[in-house]
Amino acid sequence: MVRKAKLSDVKYIYKLILHFSRRGDVIPRPMIELYEHVRDFFVYEERDLIVGACSLHICWEDLAEIRSLVVSEEYQGKGIGVSLVKACLEEAKELEIPKVFVLTRVPEFFEKLGFSRIEKSELPHKVWADCVRCPKFPECDEVPLIKEIVT
């Protein structure tokens, strides 16, 4: 079940992100940042376990980013990631945010959800603020994609 994250979920979100950041799949997020931005997150709960998480980070009046999409390995391939992204897109629609982008090493996943590849130069410079925390900086191997939201 997808739902908005609660404060009690933060420690589980942190563990998921930490695991996948150690593999280089997502940018690490300090626990304090997760508490500060808990309202950005959706979680997927299965049998009282948080097995997935994803956030919608508002960047500007017309742009948001899907961040920190993580699903426990044993639950991958079951549509959980798709459900989490769709929850973020629905929230973007409710907030009347016309464009949502993502930076990913798995562009095909997002293309199946209607995202289109763009050049990094098409995104505002401020979206790159998190990149300095990435172990791959400045040799980024992520692909930027964007989706127009019909409001």
Cα–Cα distance between 57 and 50 in angstroms, integer?
Answer: 20
Beta bridge partners of 56: 66
Cα–Cα distance between 147 and 97 in angstroms, integer?
Answer: 11
Average pLDDT, the chain: 91
pLDDT at position 139 is 64
pLDDT tens digits, one per residue of 86-96: 999 999 999 99
Average pLDDT over residues 111-136: 75
The domain of 100 spans 2-148
Average pLDDT over residues 51-76: 96
Distance of CA 5 to the CA centre of its chain: 13
Q: How many distinct structural domains can be found in the chain?
A: 1
Among 57, 59, 148, residue whose Cα is nearest residue 99: 148
pLDDT at position 37 is 97
pLDDT at position 123 is 79
pLDDT tens digits, one per residue of 2-35: 999 999 999 999 999 999 999 888 989 999 999 9
| CATH label of the domain that carries residue 38 | 3.40.630.30
Average pLDDT over residues 112-138: 73
Phi and psi, residue 45, nearest 5°: -110, 130
pLDDT at position 24 is 85
pTM listed for this prediction: 0.91
